[in-house]
Structure 1
Amino acid sequence: MASPYEVEHGIKPSTTTKPTRRPSMSSFFAQLSQIETTNPHAQPTPVEVSAAERLLQDQLTTLRLSAPTESNQALLTELISAIEMQIEHPPEKAAGVPQSYLDELDRVPKKLLKKTDTCPICGEAFLDDEYPLVVQLPCHKTHRFDLDCVGPWLRMQGTCPLDRKELMKKKEVPKPVEDDEEEDDGGMYA
């Protein structure tokens, strides 16, 4: 079956490509569209947010079952545990980033990827994909992910899966320190 990208660009799917480990996230995105609204007065119920979290957790659990490395399995276990906390105590709304944030993430050109570079979430080598869509998170230059893998996490959580830094948090601009010595020279000039 051809991907939407292949259909849109008239690319014939190759019979030699190996299947991806990434599960379909269509149910998750359908649920996410129910909890996101442009109406500021319509708020999703905690049950709806919890349902989206559960779908994300199910997808990560599926990935964990066939994790290629122990470090990949450990990361997935940690992410699943974090989601479990959200499910037990559902927030009023999804704390994640908007789709526009994902659209503006820095893309990593294919020529900068090494054969050994893998997605921390799915564990697949980026270059195994004929058309890799790899993004770099602003928290650290080595935090690179398949957009298909990190997108759902960011939409619900809004934090980097590796170091848990909040990605939408605005950095405070430091106030300039005023130098009192220049202003209070006691009327003396040098």
Structure 2
Amino acid sequence: EHNIQPSTSTSSSTRRPDMSSFFAKLSQIGADPSTPHNNPHAQPTPVDMRATFSLLADSYYQIRSTASGPPAELLTSLISELEEGADRPPTEVEGVSQAFLDALERVDKKKLGDGSCPICGERFKDDEYPLVVQLPCHPKHWFDLECVGPWLRLKGTCPLDRKAVGEKKKVVVVDDDEEDYDDMIA
């Protein structure tokens, strides 16, 4: 009618569910220390923690519904761990901060080859603008950031080997005032 042609192309992100509810709940329970919370001493309730784990499990169920092979097996394992977390919610979020995610090493598009995300199974290069990150636990643990980000924010471990990833990327800040003080004493 308005000379608009219906789109016939399929988006590569059709298998990635909307994670806005998950991130809203994660923000509500104060999972990111870099974001100020109204009551810094408040602990997340078991109900909120259960809901957060369940939201991510539901999103991974959606991805698994169209996955096959190794990605489906990995998703089954991740979902199982999330369901255990929902059944016995921890008292605090064990995941990494958004700042940690932002600092993860990005994989250059030229290096991607025919690789695919271990979570969704989609080839990295099928995405017009792939955002692939390398986890610090292994040089070949590459993931679509959209797939691994929610897991890392909640759990803080590599989905493949379950090693904690947060400790390896901590930045040490040297306090310049301390150095000046030492110079004055000497």
Which TM-score band (shorter chain)?
0.7 to 0.9
- Number of residue-to-residue matches in the alignment: 156
Q: How far is the alpha carbon of 1:170 from its aligned partner?
A: 6.0
Counterpart selection for 2:22 from 10, 14, 28: 28
Q: How far is the alpha carbon of 1:168 from its aligned partner?
A: 2.0
Q: 1:118 to 1:47 in 2, by over 3 A?
A: same
CA contact (8 A) 2:105 2:133 kept: yes
Match of 1:28, SS? Answer: helix
Name the residue aligned to 2:71: 72
Please identify, of 47-56 and 15-24, the stretch whose mean Cα deviation from structure 2 is larger.
15-24
Name the residue aligned to 1:16: 9
Q: How far is the alpha carbon of 1:169 from its aligned partner?
A: 3.6
Contiguous gaps of at least 5 residues in structure 2: 1-6, 170-186
CA contact (8 A) 1:134 1:147 kept: yes
Q: How far is the alpha carbon of 1:167 from its aligned partner?
A: 1.2
Deviations 1:50-107 (A, max 9, x none): 111100000001111110x321111000000111111111011111001000000000
Match of 1:135, SS? Answer: strand
Alignment of 1:1-190 (within 5 A): 16-20=9-13, 21-36=15-30, 38-39=36-37, 40-67=40-67, 69-114=68-113, 116-169=114-167
Cα-Cα RMSD: 1.7
The CA distance in 2 between the partners of 1:95 and 1:150, in whole Å, is 15
Higher helix share: 2
Contiguous gaps of at least 5 residues in structure 1: 1-13, 172-190
Q: How far is the alpha carbon of 1:16 from its aligned partner?
A: 3.3
Give the TM-score of the pair, scaled to structure 2. Answer: 0.79
Structure 1 letter corresponding to 2:124: F
Q: Kindly, what percent of the aligned residue pairs are identical? A: 59
CA contact (8 A) 1:75 1:120 kept: yes
Deviations 1:91-125 (A, max 9, x none): 111110010000000000111111x2100111111
Structure 2 letter corresponding to 1:92: T
Q: 1:77 to 1:160 in 2, by over 3 A?
A: same
Larger relative contact order (CA 8 Å, sep ≥ 6): 2
CA contact (8 A) 2:12 2:126 kept: no
CA contact (8 A) 1:136 1:142 kept: yes
Deviations 1:8-31 (A, max 9, x none): xxxxxx863534211111111111
Structure 2 letter corresponding to 1:106: E
Runs of 4+ in 1 over 6 A off after TM superposition: none
Give the TM-score of the pair, scaled to structure 1. Answer: 0.77
The CA distance in 2 between the partners of 1:124 and 1:57, in whole Å, is 19
